[in-house]
Amino acid sequence: MPLVLNEEQEMLKSSAAGFLAEKAPVSALRKLRDDRDAAGFSRALWEEMSEMGWAGIAIPEAYGGLEYGYVGLGLILEEMGRQLSVSPLQSSVMVGASLINIGGSEAHKRTLLPAVAEGKLLITLALQEGLHHAPEKTALKAIASGDNFILTGKKVLVMDAHVADKIVVAARTSGNAGDAEGISLFLLDAKTEGLSRERVIMVDSRNSGNVVLDNVSVSKADLIGDLNGGMAILEQVLDIANACLSAELLGLSLQAYEATIEYLKQRSQFGVLIGSFQALQHRAADMFAELELCKSMVLASLQAIDNGEDNVSLMAAATKAKLCEVAERVTNEAVQMHGGIGMTDEFDMGFYMKRARVAQQTFGGYSYQLDRFASLNGF
């Protein structure tokens, strides 16, 4: 498959760009933050997005989706990155729906996916326990008891935890923390007895949350995938999530970069435009080169997912590592090259830097991904 967007994809991208610029620009994020909005996103807007099919973009047609693939989802996320639009697209579609679609039973898919595609059901994943992303270190215990499992423990950094309807919890059913084997995935209703949620507002003004499970009972029927076989499902979902987060990082980096180039053409010091200083020109040109590499990697890894290629993990790790490196550099330079104004809350650039860091860390940052890339290459 050629590394270019087809006409349909180009159209999706430009219509998403237009829609988001109008309805979900950075000023909307700022307003959500300043109003201390209870949901942390606009439900009315999410409804509109869902009506356009975005919530079902990567869900198979058989389950009420558009079956447009992850290239499609990535294009929307890239544009959302440009505008820093807030929505449950990442928690519920990129992660939740992918998880059900990959690991769920036919019954799970039939009951859950159409509701996700309509934007009526939010599913999120509760995975992380410690400071860092390390899925194999899952320790939260699920102890068999008759036809049920009893779950006790705490999860952190659960996207949109406080507004989710369903939460998939990764729990240890055998072995020890650190073993890839022995992790199982349980689908829980967010209102289950013994489950409590605490909203955590992140530096990028988005929602994360802690989920505490205190002797929560869950039926075997709510197991996603095989008992002890959760890791294989998680790996696939995390590859998808990291490729998609890379698309978001690409969008926000391009936006921050382009705004900076514009500023270099407007701001004068010493009687000349600051863009005429070679010290800034060379850094700008070098970042241009890096961003071109990022574009290629994002598209290549999303295509690899859609084509079911056998190097998806390697491509996802490589892409996320590259985007972590470049997004960090570009957002830092964007603030630096704006001088004092870049440090003000009133100016938008800070939002880009904040969002970049959260997206970088989500499901494994630079060092995690580079290490994974090396291991997948056999060294």
Partner 1 sequence: MPDLEQFRADTRSWLEENCPETMRQPMMDESDMVGGGRKPTFKHPDQKLWMERMAAKGWTVPTWPKQYGGGGLDKHEAKILREEMSSLQCRAPLQGMGISMLGPALLEYGSEAQKLQHLPKIANGDIWWCQGYSEPGAGSDLASLQTKAEEKDDYFLVNGSKVWTSGADKADWIFCLVRTDNSGSKHHGISFLLFDMTSPGVSVKPILLISGRSPFCETFFDDVKVPKENLMGEQDKGWSIAKYLLTHEREMISGFGRGASKKFCETAVEAIGLEHGRLADPVLRNDIAKLELNILAFAKTMERVGDETKSGKGLGAASSIFKYYGTELNKTRCELMIDVNGEQAMGWEGDNYAGGHFSRTWLRSKGNSIEGGTSEVQLNIIAKRVLGL
Residue ranges in contact with partner 1 by CB under 8 A = 2-4, 261, 264-265, 275-276, 278, 280-282, 284-286, 288-289, 292-297, 299-300, 318, 321-322, 370-371, 373-375, 377-379
Provide the β-strand partners of residue 216: 151
What amino acid is encoded at 19 in this protein? F
Q: How far is the CB of 17 from partner 1 (least distance, A)?
A: 18
Cα dihedral 258/264/266/270 (nearest 10) = 170
Q: What is the distance between the alpha carbons of residues 99 and 139, in angstroms, rounded to a whole number?
A: 20
Neighbours of 114 (CB within 10 A): 17
Sequence-distant (≥ 6) Cβ neighbours of residue 281 within 8 angstroms? 275
Give the nearer residue to partner 1 in terms of CB position, either 166 or 322. Answer: 322
Longest dimension (CA), the chain: 79
Joined together, the tokens standing for residue 51 give 């009506």
Evaluate whether 335 touches 342 at the Cβ level (below 8 Å).
yes
| DSSP code at position 148 | E
Q: How far is the CB of 351 from partner 1 (least distance, A)?
A: 23
Give the nearer residue to partner 1 in terms of CB position, either 144 or 339. Answer: 339
Give the nearer residue to partner 1 in terms of CB position, either 344 or 377. Answer: 377
Evaluate whether 358 touches 86 at the Cβ level (below 8 Å).
no
Give the nearer residue to partner 1 in terms of CB position, either 44 or 279. Answer: 279
Q: How far is the CB of 231 from partner 1 (least distance, A)?
A: 17
Task: Give start and end residues of each alpha helix (H) in 118-171.
Answer: none
Q: How far is the CB of 371 from partner 1 (least distance, A)?
A: 7
Q: How far is the CB of 12 from partner 1 (least distance, A)?
A: 17
CA nearest neighbour of 200 among 236, 142, 231, 155:
155
The string of DSSP letters for 157-183 reads --TTGGG-SEEEEEEE-SS-TT-STTE
Provide the β-strand partners of residue 366: none
Q: How far is the CB of 250 from partner 1 (least distance, A)?
A: 12
Tell how strand 166-172 and strand 123-126 pair up. parallel
Evaluate whether 291 touches 257 at the Cβ level (below 8 Å).
yes
Evaluate whether 313 touches 239 at the Cβ level (below 8 Å).
yes
